[in-house]
Amino acid sequence: MPDTRKARTKDEKELSLSIERRLSQAKLSGSRRKLIVAILGDHEETFYLSSREMAKRYDVDAATIIRSIQDLGYKRYADFTADLRRHFVREITPYTTLEAATREKRTVSDHVRFCVEKDVEGLNMFLANIDSDRIVELAKKIRQSRRILVIGVDLAASLSWFLAYGLTPLGFDAEAPVGSTGTLRHKIDLLTEKDLLIAISFGRCLRETVDAAIRGRERGVPTFGITDSLTNPISANCDGCLVASTDSPSFTGSYVASMALMNAILTATAHLEPNSSLARLRKTEEEYRDGNRWCQKA
């Protein structure tokens, strides 16, 4: 089985360089180097700031921020903040995220608006960098698989359930198992090379999910990861992966871009064989039109 991780594009490899390595290699003026070092030192408070807000924090103009991160080799500000979060993700916890947000002088309404703005920013970033070919690649794997096991733990369980639920009416034997580590292992042990394991985890990546991906690969099961970085354990231990940012000032993180990715996967899977998809969904048409399915109370 080919290792699709080796097929990463040049841009993806460039994004995976650490900020510290970029800083050591970049030719920065003394003031810009001092600025970047200050930003890195305040990572808990800077990874989710806009360029304008970051400029205000360090008493420079936004153009200086942009030129400084470009000197590090980043094409866009969003790439810099995403890498900033990835680099320090081991130190970011729900507590530190909320603590950093509370230091900002915002009203509750301002916090709400800023949180939604970051969700929209994450969604726009996903759209700007969407890898349609890789989404289609996953859809083809789904189409070719006898059985699909979607594994997500804790909050990611909501994503795994959604994906499995969406695949089922299209005629696929898809499941998002819940329960103990033993339950996951038993489910994985039933898979073969004709099946597919999709592992969903973000940030540091939960051990159970990573272990599930490793266990699947050791047994020759095709694996595919859904995560937020090309350099984390899910990406490293799956045959291929798709990336969606979870950056947010909310202590829960954001699954807005991830949900968009789930819908994109389901759309690609349905449209690869539209006649088959329509035939499957036609079987549920009467049930959906039947008034007994819906609440009739005014």
For residues 142 and 39, state if they share a domain: no
Paired tokens of 7: 């097929």
What φ, ψ does residue 206 adopt, rounded to 5°? -75, 140
Which residues are CB-neighbours of 94 under 8 A, at least 6 positions away?
Answer: 251, 252
CB neighbours (10 Å) of residue 236? Answer: 17
pLDDT at 10: 42
pLDDT at 291: 64
Burial letters 42-78, b for 16+ CB under 10 A, else e: ebbbbbbbbbeebbebeeeeeebbbebbebbbbeebb
Paired tokens of 140: 């083809």
Stretch (H or E) spanning 241: strand 240-243
For residues 32 and 167, state if they share a domain: no
For residues 84 and 145, state if they share a domain: no
Could you tell me the CATH number of the domain that includes residue 64?
1.10.10.10
If 0-12 CB within 10 Å is exposed, 13-18 middle and 19+ buried, where does residue 291 land?
A: exposed
Helix (H, G, I), strand (E, B) or coil at 74: coil
Q: Which of 182, 189, 180 is nearest to 216 (CA)?
A: 189
Host domain of residue 60: 12-92
- What's the pTM value of the predicted model, to 2 decimals? 0.74
CB neighbours (10 Å) of residue 282? Answer: 9
pLDDT at 79: 83
For residues 139 and 75, state if they share a domain: no
Residue 234 lies in a domain: yes
Query: Do 118 and 48 contact (CB within 8 A), yes or no?
Result: yes
pLDDT at 149: 98
Alpha carbon of 270 to those of 175, 211, 274: distances in Å? 17, 30, 6
**Domain C-terminal end among 60, 92, 124:** 92
Q: What's the one-letter identity of residue 255?
A: Y
Helix (H, G, I), strand (E, B) or coil at 253: coil
Please give the Cα distance from 199 to 151 (Å, whole number): 5
Please give the Cα distance from 6 to 230 (Å, whole number): 12
Q: Which of 197, 219, 211 is nearest to 147 (CA)?
A: 197
For residues 184 and 279, state if they share a domain: yes
Residue 60 lies in a domain: yes
Q: What is the pLDDT along the chain (298 residues), one digit of tens a residue?
A: 444 444 444 444 444 456 777 877 788 888 988 898 888 877 667 777 888 889 999 999 999 999 999 998 888 888 888 777 766 665 667 887 788 788 878 899 999 999 999 899 889 989 998 999 999 999 999 999 999 999 999 999 999 999 999 999 999 999 999 877 888 999 999 999 999 999 999 988 999 999 999 999 999 999 999 998 877 899 989 999 999 989 888 888 899 999 999 999 999 999 999 999 999 999 888 777 776 777 777 6
Q: Which of 257, 133, 240, 245 is nearest to 197 (CA)?
A: 240
Please give the Cα distance from 141 to 147 (Å, whole number): 10
Stretch (H or E) spanning 22: helix 19-25
pLDDT at 262: 98
Distance of CA 189 to the CA centre of its chain: 26
- Sign of the Cα torsion 153, 154, 156, 158 reads positive
pLDDT at 37: 86
Could you tell me the CATH number of the domain that includes residue 262?
3.40.50.10490
Residue 189 lies in a domain: yes
**Domain C-terminal end among 92, 123, 145:** 92
For residues 52 and 196, state if they share a domain: no
pLDDT at 97: 78
pLDDT at 88: 64
Query: Virtual CA dihedral for 78, 128, 14, 24, nearest 10 degrees?
Result: -10
